[in-house]
Amino acid sequence: MTTIPTAHRATAVAARATELSKVYGAGETQVVALDRVTVDFRQGEFTAIMGPSGSGKSTLMHCVAGLDSFSSGSVRIGETELGSLKDKQLTQLRRDKIGFIFQAFNLLPTLTAAENITLPMDIAGRKPNKQWLDQVIDMVGLSGRLSHRPTQLSGGQQQRVAVARALASQPEIIFGDEPTGNLDSRSGAEVLGFLRNSVRELGQTVVMVTHDPVAASYADRVIFLADGRVVDEMLHPSADGVLDRMKEFDAKGRTS
Amino acid sequence: MFKTALRNVLAHKARLLMTVLAVMLGVAFVSGTLVFTDTLKSAFKNQSAKSYDNVAVAAESFGSRDDDKQDPGIGKQTVRKIEALDGVTSVNGRVDGFAGVADKKGKLIGQGWANKGGNFSPGKDGKDPAYTFTNGTGPVLDAQIALDEDTADKGGYKVGDRIRVATNGPVKTYTLSGVFTTEDGGVNAGGSLVLFDTKVAQQLYLKPGFFQKVNVSAKPGTDAQKLLDQVLPLLPEHATARTGQALAAQEADDIEKGLSALSQTLLAFAAIALFVGIFLISNTFTMLVAQRTKELALMRAVGASRAQVRRSVLTEALVVGTVASAVGFGLGLGLAVGLRSAMDSFGVKLPAGSLIVSSTPVIAALAVGVLVTLIAALLPAWRAAKIPPVAAMNSVHAAATTKSLVVRNTIGAIIALGGFGAILAGAGAGRDGKTMIGFGAFLALVGIIILIPLLSRPVIGVMRPLLTRAFGVSGKLASQNAVRNPRRTGATASALAIGLTLVTALSVLGITVGKAVDKTTTDNIKADYMVAMASGDRLDKSVVPELRKAPGVVAASPKQASYLKLDGDYRSVAGVTPGDVEKVLNVETVSGSLATLGQGQLAVDDETAKKHGWKPGSRLPAEFDDKKKASLTVGAVFKKQEFLAPVLAATSLLDPHESRPHIESVFVKMSGGATKANEQALVNALGDNPAISFMDQQDIRDTFGGMINTLLNIMYGLLAMALLIAVLGVINTLAMSVFERQQEIGMLRAIGLDRSRVKRMIRLEAVVISVFGAVIGTGLGTFLAWAIGETIKGSIPAYALVVPWDRIALFLALAGLVGVLAAMWPARSAARLNMLTAIKTE
């Protein structure tokens, strides 16, 4: 079991967005998706990003994860500044330092579960760390299904493969885009449990976009976005607490 | 329903692009062929009608100058009698034969078989109606000639120049009196024509005072038929006459026959191209239906009947087919014009005439294009109709059941096995097995096309480890993606396989036959040179002694074609020079001695000897060409030889009985072998005659090999259209795959597959599919070639199947290249895919 000293946790930052803005279009039709957002994602922390539709939560994640370009500001993953990177370097950064879990279309149907898990390392041409791999597979409980193809797995099992894939390459940070959006509540709880365990037990850093307060309650910290700005933050959230906060936004949204 | 169909077509413009292109190309091929041959037909007919315009009656003699007992042609007296008939305005006598013109370097202008000579036959006005002089005048003196314009240009000759002309005798020098143009078909096809004064031509080709042909012109209003009735009794026994009109009709008929053979060949290749197109079209409609599963199910749910759904898909096909055919027809007109100018640039001058567009090509092209599209869309339409209304509610479309693949594979296996069985049976049947093989080949191809989705897994499975090792993750994913939709991959590969089956079968056969001919030449000929007339005519008798006098000649023997009635049957005999023949040709004595040829004895080949029980010492009653009888002795038995007749005799034995010995060729052995100097010595010995060709062994092989190569190249050219459509099919399939797998590709990009490797993945998928098709095609093609080879083996000496591995490797490499090229556009669009939109769920 790896425990990271609290002091260290507080200082080491896995990813940081500074004054990050993303603007679509120009003139009359201009839409500001992100408006000078500054946020840190600390190492070994499980962060949830929440907000109503159109708040910019997905855009923030995409920009920080190197999936999307931004208009101004800066994004750092570890020591690397993303703004100056070309597509090829960004791809390499995603490959080597970032893990992804999407809502759907996470797996390649032609590959077995095991092959899907090691895909990022195959792409990088690296040999997976056998011991670590076994540990991860064990944790998500897939030992018996490694030779199955995605079509032979349930939705929850598929998402567990995706979690294992994200963890297997030991990335600096894992991003999840509504990872439980397509799952029933039991499978969702399982997947969230694995993500939390990976943070607690393996010291992984996880950032997850969600609109589900229950999902958010698994995180160490919740960041609330509205109209492209960070409007609030909650530490050690509970599902009810998050729900109340969200209701507030909704009410505000309606009155303003 | 029609509106919905139309809207669907418009909505899927981009995805239908390749389908439209495929139909368009096929239709263009068909309509181009039809319009081109129609145009040619009409132009040729006009030309032949024109050349008989002034001819009321034409007479032709089949007499021979070798025949001493009767007149060799139509004599002067006969011509005078015809001239005296009522209504006759003029009578033109014609003689013709071979005449080769030397260029300024002494080389023959044009090919031997197309070098003609004729007579200038001026009427009272001093003009010959068949020739229009652009420069100078017709030849009227013994030492004058006229040349057709093209030949004069090629040789760089002007009126007044001295020109060496070879006929079947020695070379003579003439003065060019004029240059002319003519409607003569041979000249238009790129041949040369030399005109002599009539007396000179008669001397050269027949006998002074005689003509081979006589054309009679009459006053307008004369009844040609009546005139013919008057002319006929005047002609010698060996001559016949017809009206000019009948001759023109006959010629037009011959042209029609010749051209319809051409158009049928072209149409057969167009049919192959269209057949290949069916696979592409079917793929497209299958995809369109799959993408619209929900939409179609919804239509069913709100009350559309199965028939209506089926009709809506077929209507789409109808719209696509009609549009593509219309455009294709326009393209076909362009192709017809292009073909014409292409033939012009190859030196084939076609008679002028405007483009003829009759209703047949229009209807045929449109019908073919629409039908092919509809046939290809039948299966997808049928599948669309089977979509249950409940599919509208399901999120996932039920995949094709495995049952249909089981049925499909069983049917395919039965047909393919039947086909292979028929091919093997045909190969075993020898000479008569060709029809059987053709039938079997068709069945095998159909069976394999049905089975190809099944075959795709193991064949591509073999490639996988290789690709994974060479290209890592891209290779692995590509080989797996290639078998994800076995039906589509199968259809795509089939298109390529069909073309390559034909290309490979033709290549293997062509090269095998070429090698066999090569081997026959090297096995049988020892001579350094084979001397013959470029025209294929007989050589003059004087050639053998002249050649023997040339410096460096070790041995020279003619091959003189003759006949002897031996033991009651006419047999073909080769007249040779005893003592020399075994030095220039590989003659293996089985028994007796070839030296006996010198004593007036015969040599017979082992097959003939065995059949008749002849052996050295047998005495045979014989009758020569001039009916003189003799008793001849067999002096030797030799092993059957491809370059010799079954019976050999000394020329000295045959010559006294023949007025003009038919010397086909002379084989010459020289000290020092085939060298430039030796060849020059031979050329000099025969008076620098441009009409005589001197071929060394390589040249002999090249004449046959060249023919085979030309044929192969024409076939490759004709099959190129089918291959092009197959390539469009690969592009189509790849574009579909990329479109369907957007999300997957987006995910791969997100987790770190860079653009260049995404491109590589798509490219490799295309390569895998293409090479798969090529492997099937080359395999089946080689097998077919072997089977056909078995049936023709008997008629080709030294036959041994040659599998041209280098060429097959080239085909596979080209297929790979085709894959790379076909993937260019789909790969680029895959690499450019917007990751975020791709990942986003609906």
Q: In Å, how far is B736's CA from the nearest CA of chain A?
A: 17
- What is the separation of C-alpha B768 from the centre of its chain, rounded to a whole number of angstroms? 33
CB atoms B752 and A103 under 8 Å: no
CB atoms B751 and A119 under 8 Å: yes
Do the beta carbons of residue B504 and residue B781 sit within 8 Å? yes
Q: Can you give the pLDDT at residue B386? A: 84
Per-residue pLDDT reduced to its tens digit, B151-164: 999 889 999 999 99
Q: Can you give the pLDDT at residue B717? A: 84
The Cα B818–Cα B729 span in angstroms is: 11
What is the average pLDDT across A94-114?
Answer: 86
What is the number of domains present in chain A? 1
CB atoms B839 and A88 under 8 Å: no
Query: Of A94, A109, A181, which is closest to B750 when you measure between CB atoms?
Result: A94
Query: Of A120, A181, A182, which is closest to B751 when you measure between CB atoms?
Result: A120
Q: Does B365 touch chain A (CB under 8 A)?
A: no
Least-confidence region, from A199-203, B14-18, B449-453, B601-605: B14-18
Q: In Å, how far is A256's CA from the nearest CA of chain B?
A: 30
Count of C-beta atoms within a 10 Å radius of residue B57: 30
Q: What share of chain A is helix, strand, coil (3-state, %, to 5)?
A: 45, 25, 35
Q: Can you give the C-alpha Rg of chain A in angstroms?
A: 18
A11 has a pLDDT exceeding 60: no
- Both tokens assigned to B825: 């556009």
User: Which residues from A are below 8 Å from B when comparing CB atoms?
Assistant: 62, 67-68, 87-88, 91-92, 94-96, 99-100, 102-106, 108-111, 119-120, 122-125, 165, 177, 181-182
- Helix (H) or strand (E) holding A109, with range, is none
The Cα B655–Cα B146 span in angstroms is: 37
Q: Considering only CB atoms, which chain A residues are within 8 Å of B755? A: 87-88, 91
Count of C-beta atoms within a 10 Å radius of residue B382: 15
Do the beta carbons of residue B374 and residue B277 sit within 8 Å? no
**Where are the alpha helices (H) located in B525-665, listed in sequence order?**
543-549, 581-584, 606-612, 651-654
The Cα A158–Cα A107 span in angstroms is: 7
Q: Does B747 touch chain A (CB under 8 A)?
A: yes
Q: Supply angle C-alpha B763, B769, B772, rounded to 5.
A: 135
Indicate whether A83 belongs to any domain.
no
Q: Supply angle C-alpha B784, B785, B791, rounded to 5.
A: 95
How much of chain A exceeds pLDDT 70, in percent? 93
B145 has a pLDDT exceeding 90: yes
Q: Can you give the pLDDT at residue A254? A: 53
CA atoms within 13 A on the CB side of B795: 7
B402 has a pLDDT exceeding 70: no
| Sign for the pseudo-dihedral over CA of B780, B781, B782, B785 | positive
CA atoms within 13 A on the CB side of B25: 27
Per-residue pLDDT reduced to its tens digit, B625-677: 888 888 999 999 999 888 888 999 999 898 888 878 889 999 999 998 888 89
Least-confidence region, from A245-249, B131-135, B246-250, B785-789: A245-249
Confidence category of residue A48, pLDDT binned at 50, 70, 90: very high
Nearest alpha-carbon partner for B733 in B753, B762, B758:
B762
User: Global pTM?
Assistant: 0.79
CB atoms A122 and B476 under 8 Å: yes
Do the beta carbons of residue B100 and residue B163 sit within 8 Å? no
Least-confidence region, from A74-83, B112-121, B523-532: B112-121
Nearest alpha-carbon partner for B550 in B650, B463, B468, B668:
B668
Q: Can you give the pLDDT at residue A5? A: 43
CB atoms A102 and B480 under 8 Å: no
Q: Does B472 touch chain A (CB under 8 A)?
A: yes
Q: Considering only CB atoms, which chain B residues are within 8 Å of A122? A: 472-473, 476
Q: Considering only CB atoms, which chain B residues are within 8 Å of A121? A: none
Residue B394 DSSP SS3: coil
At residue B369, φ and ψ (nearest 5 deg) are -60, -45
Q: Considering only CB atoms, which chain B residues are within 8 Å of A103? A: 841
Domain that holds residue A106: 45-55+91-255
How much of chain B exceeds pLDDT 90, in percent? 22
Strand partners, A47: A207, A221
Residue B74 DSSP SS3: strand
Confidence category of residue B751, pLDDT binned at 50, 70, 90: confident
Do the beta carbons of residue B271 and residue B719 sit within 8 Å? no
* Distances B478 to A106, A111, A146, B460, B833 between C-alpha atoms, Å: 18, 12, 22, 10, 17
* Distances A235 to A192, A202, A232, A241, A242 between C-alpha atoms, Å: 17, 20, 10, 10, 10
Nearest alpha-carbon partner for B538 in B625, B662, B655:
B662
Q: Does B434 touch chain A (CB under 8 A)?
A: no
Q: Can you give the pLDDT at residue A6? A: 43
* Distances B334 to A71, B105, B319, B329, B342 between C-alpha atoms, Å: 53, 41, 23, 9, 12
DSSP E strand stretches across B271-316: none
Q: Supply angle C-alpha B484, B489, B495, rounded to 5.
A: 180
Query: Of B476, B754, B836, which is closest to A91 when you measure between CB atoms?
Result: B754
With CA atoms as reference, the chain A residue closest to B842 would be: A104
With CA atoms as reference, the chain A residue closest to B743 would be: A105
- Both tokens assigned to B322: 């009609």
Q: Can you give the pLDDT at residue B68? A: 63
Name residue B376's amino acid: A
Strand partners, B193: B116
Q: Can you give the pLDDT at residue B174? A: 93
Per-residue pLDDT reduced to its tens digit, B668-718: 999 988 888 998 899 888 888 888 889 988 888 888 778 888 888 888 888
Q: Does B458 touch chain A (CB under 8 A)?
A: no
Nearest alpha-carbon partner for A108 in B310, B753, B355, B296:
B753
Strand partners, A232: A224
B524 has a pLDDT exceeding 60: yes
What is the average pLDDT across B73-83?
Answer: 88
Residue of A139 and B770 predicted with greater confidence: B770
Name residue B150's amino acid: D
| Residue A231's CATH number | 3.40.50.300
- Long-range contacts of the stretch A243-247 (C-beta < 8 A, 24+): A243/A213, A246/A50, A246/A52, A246/A213
**Where are the alpha helices (H) located in B125-243, listed in sequence order?**
149-155, 185-188, 198-205, 224-231
B340: CB partners within 8 A, 6+ apart: B36, B39, B350
Average pLDDT, chain A: 86
What is the average pLDDT across B176-195?
Answer: 84
The Cα B214–Cα B74 span in angstroms is: 8
Q: Can you give the C-alpha Rg of chain B in angstroms?
A: 35
The Cα B311–Cα B355 span in angstroms is: 39
Pairing label, strands B171-182, B131-136: antiparallel
Do the beta carbons of residue B412 and residue B447 sit within 8 Å? yes
Indicate whether A132 belongs to any domain.
yes
Do the beta carbons of residue B117 and residue B537 sit within 8 Å? no
A4 has a pLDDT exceeding 60: no
Q: With a CB-CB cutoff of 8 Å, which residues 137-176 of chain B face chain A?
A: none
Q: Considering only CB atoms, which chain B residues are within 8 Å of A164? A: none
Nearest alpha-carbon partner for B529 in B707, B647, B686:
B686
Indicate whether A184 belongs to any domain.
yes
B1 has a pLDDT exceeding 70: no
The Cα B212–Cα B238 span in angstroms is: 11
Indicate whether A24 belongs to any domain.
no
| Chain A to chain B Cβ contacts (< 8 Å) | 74
What is the average pLDDT across B461-470?
Answer: 87
B499: CB partners within 8 A, 6+ apart: B272, B276, B719, B722, B723, B726, B777
DSSP B618: -
Residue A177 DSSP SS3: strand
Name residue A143's amino acid: S
Q: What ipTM was estimated for this complex?
A: 0.84
Residue B539 DSSP SS3: strand
A183 has a pLDDT exceeding 90: no
Nearest alpha-carbon partner for B687 in B201, B103, B106, B97:
B106
- Both tokens assigned to B710: 């030309």
What is the average pLDDT across B432-458?
Answer: 88
What is the average pLDDT across A68-82?
Answer: 90
- Both tokens assigned to A54: 């159109």
Indicate whether A39 belongs to any domain.
no
Q: Supply angle C-alpha A154, A155, A156, rounded to 5.
A: 90
B803-840 b/e (C-beta count within 10 Å ≥ 16 → b): bbeebbeebbeebbebbeebbeebbebbbebebbebbb
Q: Which of B460, B744, B751, B761 to mutate to test the interface with A (most CBs of A within 10 A)?
A: B751
**Where are the alpha helices (H) located in A26-143, listed in sequence order?**
57-64, 87-97, 113-117, 119-124, 130-140
